[in-house]
């Protein structure tokens, strides 16, 4: 897969998407100036790729199903020194990405967002509880100073690629943190706002099947 010529000062924003046509225009419009979006279409049936292209984003297709597969395809296609990852559902504010970028430029190997709900009901109790349990285990077992395994993060592209192939499905964010701990990376957590989805249905909390799949993937990583 071809990549753009490296430009270390820039930031590529990888946005993995499956059926996020409704929310995606708002997400792309809110990106900070100069941040380059790559939308990775992962089997959408709602015209996500066409919507992303019409908004000026670079679009690539990842045929292997799974969140992790889409993220890693986007990282491989990035041509900048720093890579950010952001969901395409509008639940996180792209304008807060520079907070994480600043943490990496100040010396962190990986900056991750800690979601702070803006209102009651934004974060379903069952997914919030599961997230809390997993984060507690990461602190206890791996010494990572994290309280969330959310989907906003920033790191150097070469550093990410040095970790090798990670989990192709929902286990990707968790395995990234585990591998980062094993590699003795400095991980910094940054508070970010967490909003209701701007459209579509969550692949995890939106159904019992999605929640079960995520749990299965997390357990596979933590074994």
pLDDT by residue for the chain (223 residues), tens digit each? 344 444 445 999 999 999 999 999 999 999 999 999 999 999 999 999 999 999 999 999 999 999 999 999 999 999 999 999 999 999 999 999 999 999 999 999 999 999 999 988 777 777 788 788 889 889 999 999 999 987 899 999 999 999 999 999 989 999 999 999 999 999 999 999 999 987 666 555 444 555 566 666 666 677 6
Enclosing domain of residue 178: 7-222
Do the domain assignments include residue 98?
A: yes
- The domain spanning residue 218 has which CATH number? 3.90.550.10
Residues 158-167: pLDDT tens digits? 999 999 999 9
Which residues are within 8 A (CB) of 56 and not within 5 positions of it... i.e. 6 or more apart? Answer: 28
Residue 110 near residue 188, CB atoms below 8 Å: yes
100 vs 98: CA distance, rounded Å: 5
Do the domain assignments include residue 216?
A: yes
Residue 147 near residue 131, CB atoms below 8 Å: no
Eight-class DSSP state of 102? H
Do the domain assignments include residue 1?
A: no
Number of domains in the chain: 1
103 vs 96: CA distance, rounded Å: 12
39 vs 148: CA distance, rounded Å: 24
Do the domain assignments include residue 65?
A: yes
Do the domain assignments include residue 2?
A: no
pLDDT score of 101? 98
């Amino acid at each position: 897969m071809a990549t753009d010529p490296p430009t270390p000062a820039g930031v590529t924003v990888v946005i993995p998407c499956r059926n996020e046509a409704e929310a995606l225009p708002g997400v792309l419009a809110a990106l900070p100036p100069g941040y380059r979006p790559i939308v990775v279409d992962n089997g959408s049936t709602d015209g996500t790729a066409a919507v992303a292209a019409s908004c000026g984003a670079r679009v690539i297709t990842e045929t292997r199903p799974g969140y992790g597969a889409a993220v890693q395809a986007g990282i491989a296609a990035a041509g900048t020194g720093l890579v950010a990852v952001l969901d395409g559902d509008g639940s996180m504010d792209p304008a807060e990405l520079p907070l994480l970028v600043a943490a990496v430029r100040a010396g962190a190997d990986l900056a991750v967002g800690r979601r702070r709900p803006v209102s009651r009901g934004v974060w379903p109790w069952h997914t919030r509880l599961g997230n809390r349990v997993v984060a507690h285990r990461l602190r206890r077992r791996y010494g990572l100073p994290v309280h969330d395994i959310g989907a906003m993060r920033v790191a150097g592209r070469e550093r990410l690629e040095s970790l090798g192939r990670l989990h192709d499905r929902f286990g990707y964010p968790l395995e990234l943190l585990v591998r980062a701990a094993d590699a003795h990376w400095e991980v910094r957590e940054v508070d970010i706002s967490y909003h209701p989805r701007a459209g579509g249905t969550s692949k995890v909390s939106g159904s019992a099947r999605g929640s079960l799949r995520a749990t299965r993937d997390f357990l596979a990583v933590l074994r």
